Amino acid sequence: MRVEPVEPAHAPGLVALFERNHVPCYCQFWHFAGDKNAWLDRCAHAPELNRQALTVAVAERSEAMRGVVAVADDEIVGWMKLAPAELLSKLYDQRVYRRLPCFAGDRRGVYAIGCFLVDEAWRRRGVARALIGGGVLAARSWGATAIEAFPRRSETAGAEELWTGPPEALLAEGFEVINDFQPYPVLRLAL
């Protein structure tokens, strides 16, 4: 398995990863302007709009769709969205994160992990940790000064609830808790 920054050539494989795992969001939640009900409706009835948005953003090398992919046997088996924090304002505007003191100060160069998707057949095999490690290297090459993560910490969380990242893997890769509100801590890695 290798981890590399997402490139336009990865778009078909990335789409296939979402389709194989029956995930209709295509990593568009943080960019969707409507409310939660409109989002659920779109995922249920028009997932092709999300698929198209992902494909276009990756093809155009949009900073909002930056991230890394894990590739095994020429198939994408994992994805981690890693974009400049200012392009994921919907994430920071969530009620549990809005106006936290840990987000004060100079925000230039701060990137945020927006989501993870690991192929069901590849889960619990180190893919998430590999994505985090590859993401750190990519973020450094993009000039990032820090990476923030927003995992859900729960003893009973299923895979579908860990879409913002597994907290144990992030902590093992050097992230530190900067706001410990349960079950939604904020983690940061200074680069």
Q: Taking residues 152-180, what's their average pLDDT? A: 81
- Calculate the CA dihedral of residues 18, 23, 27, 28 and round it to 10 degrees: 130
Q: What is the pLDDT of residue 159?
A: 64
Overall domain count for the chain: 1
Predicted confidence band of residue 154 (pLDDT cuts 50, 70, 90): low
113-140 per-position pLDDT tens digit: 999 999 999 999 999 999 999 999 999 9
Which 3-state string (H, E, C) describes the chain?
A: CEEEECCHHHHHHHHHHHHHCCCCCCCCHHHCCCCHHHHHHHHHHCHHHHHHHHHHHHHCCCHHHCEEEEEECCEEEEEEEEEEHHHHHHHHCCCCCCCCHHHCCCCCCEEEEEEEEECHHHCCCCHHHHHHHHHHHHHHHCCCCEEEECCCCCCCCCHHHCCCCCHHHHHHCCCEEEECCCCCCEEEEEC
**Contact 5/66 with Cβ under 8 angstroms?**
yes
pLDDT at residue 155, as a whole number: 62
Q: Which domain holds residue 127?
A: 2-190
The C-alpha atoms of residue 80 and residue 82 are separated, in whole angstroms, by 6
Categorize the per-residue pLDDT at 183 as very low, low, confident or very high, splitting at 50, 70 and 90: confident
Averaged over 69-94, what is the pLDDT? 96
Closest Cα to residue 54, out of 115, 103, 102?
Answer: 115
Q: CATH number of the domain that 43 lies in?
A: 3.40.630.30
Q: Among 99-103, 104-108, 151-155, 165-169, which stretch is predicted with the lowest mean pLDDT? A: 151-155
- Tokens 């349960």 correspond to 182
The predicted-structure confidence for 31-81, as pLDDT tens digits, reads as follows: 999 999 999 999 999 999 999 999 999 999 999 999 999 999 999 999 999
- C-alpha separations of 8 from 1, 43, 140, 146 in Å: 19, 24, 20, 25
What does the pLDDT read at residue 22? 95
